[in-house]
Amino acid sequence: MKIYIDGKLCDEKNAKISVFDHGLLYGDGVFEGIRAYNGRVFKLKEHIDRLYCSAKAILLTIPMSHEQMSKAVVDTCRKNNLRDGYVRLVVTRGVGTLGLNPNKCEKPSVIIIADKIQVYPPAMYQRGMDIVTVATTRNLHSAVNPAIKSLNYLNNILAKIEANNAGVEEAVMLNSEGFVAECTADNIFIVKGNQLMTPPLSAGALYGITRGVVMELARENGLLATEPTLTRYDLFNADECFLTGTGAELIPVVKIDGRVIGAGKPGPITKDLVNRYHALTKVSGEPIFPVK
């Protein structure tokens, strides 16, 4: 495997960063998870745009243009002969001192890893998954804004630990007011009648790329896609529920905190959106290999 680090492609065993990198020492940096399907990088522009928005929010100047970054992602996929897989794009603050001061970091580092990913067991996509609500609340907007896709994911990891302790793969995170924000690594959707609902970004949800795609697909199919404030009550009484994320794609949820959702199996609207999403990924994206 070839890994991109600051303009060079390194073998996996030689892909190294300094122990003084503030990304390692303090989680000081931003990242994106991107998917490749059928020889194309899906929604590359949207992911790169979000990366730069996250970087701007933490006053991190990325030493590459949008175009250069996009090209680096595609080139790394090509060098690894990746047609279907996952790209982890990381920008750290760079090498600094043991102190907090980010101004001591002279140059940010850009790292691109193109590999495979399997977030959840395949059987869960067929039968649906159980999830629980956890005590760990989503970060406050006035603390580490959830809109920033930063390398500091400890908030999510603490919630994931609670999920694991409860014997499930995912967990619902509430915000400080008790409203549904998102899950540890995914956005959450419910279906009620012909209405598709997901928490608003103001509740603490990430600006999910897959989230946005699913809402577009739903509206194209005549569904009313809205972003109301949701509580656990709304989740419990939904007709259907599913999660979305770049790594997870779309995965049905059939039980939340012991309450069976709908018929207790993936619902028709969820299945339809899964099919529409997969169809879109097969024909959309930035080509990795030259078109013959």
pTM, entire model:
0.95
- Residues 221-249: b if buried by 16+ CB within 10 A, e if exposed: eebebebeebebebbbebbbbbbbbbbbb
Residue at which a domain ends, from 97, 115, 133: 115
How many domains, in total, are found in the chain? 2
Taking only the tens place, the pLDDT of each residue in 257-286 is 999 999 999 999 999 999 999 999 999 999
The pLDDT of residue 292 is above 80: no
Q: Which residues contact 79 (CB under 8 A, 6 or more apart)?
A: 2, 9, 114
Residue 72 lies in domain: 2-115
| pLDDT tens track for 86-131 | 999 999 999 999 999 999 999 999 999 999 988 899 999 999 999 9
Same domain, 90 and 126: no
- What is the per-residue pLDDT across 227-255, written as a single tens digit (0 to 9) for each? 999 999 999 999 999 999 999 999 999 99
Distance between CA 56 and CA 50 in Å, rounded? Answer: 10
**Tens of pLDDT, residues 37-87:** 999 999 999 999 999 999 999 999 999 999 999 999 999 999 999 999 999
Q: Residue 290 — pLDDT band, cuts 50, 70, 90?
A: confident
Same domain for 22 and 128? no
pLDDT per position as a tens digit, 130-184: 999 999 999 999 999 999 999 999 999 999 999 999 999 999 999 999 999 999 9
For the chain, the residue count is 292
Exposure on the CB side of residue 43, measured as CA atoms within 13 A: 23
Q: Note whether 142 and 98 are within 8 A (CB).
A: no
Average pLDDT of the chain to the nearest whole number: 97
User: Which 3 state secondary structure label does DSSP give 65?
Assistant: coil
> Cα-Cα-Cα-Cα dihedral of 147, 233, 155, 36, to 10°?
-60
What's the CATH number where 58 sits?
Answer: 3.30.470.10
First to last CA, the chain: 25
| Dist. CA 286–CA 36, nearest whole Å | 9
Reported as a single tens digit per residue, the pLDDT across 8-35 is: 999 999 999 999 999 999 999 999 999 9
> What interhelical angle do 268-283 and 209-220 show, nearest 10?
110
Strand partners, 243: 188, 251
CB 100 within 8 A of CB 109: no
Q: Which of 86, 115, 144 is the last residue of a domain?
A: 115
| Residue with token string 């697909």 | 217
Q: Which residues are annotated as catalytic?
A: 149
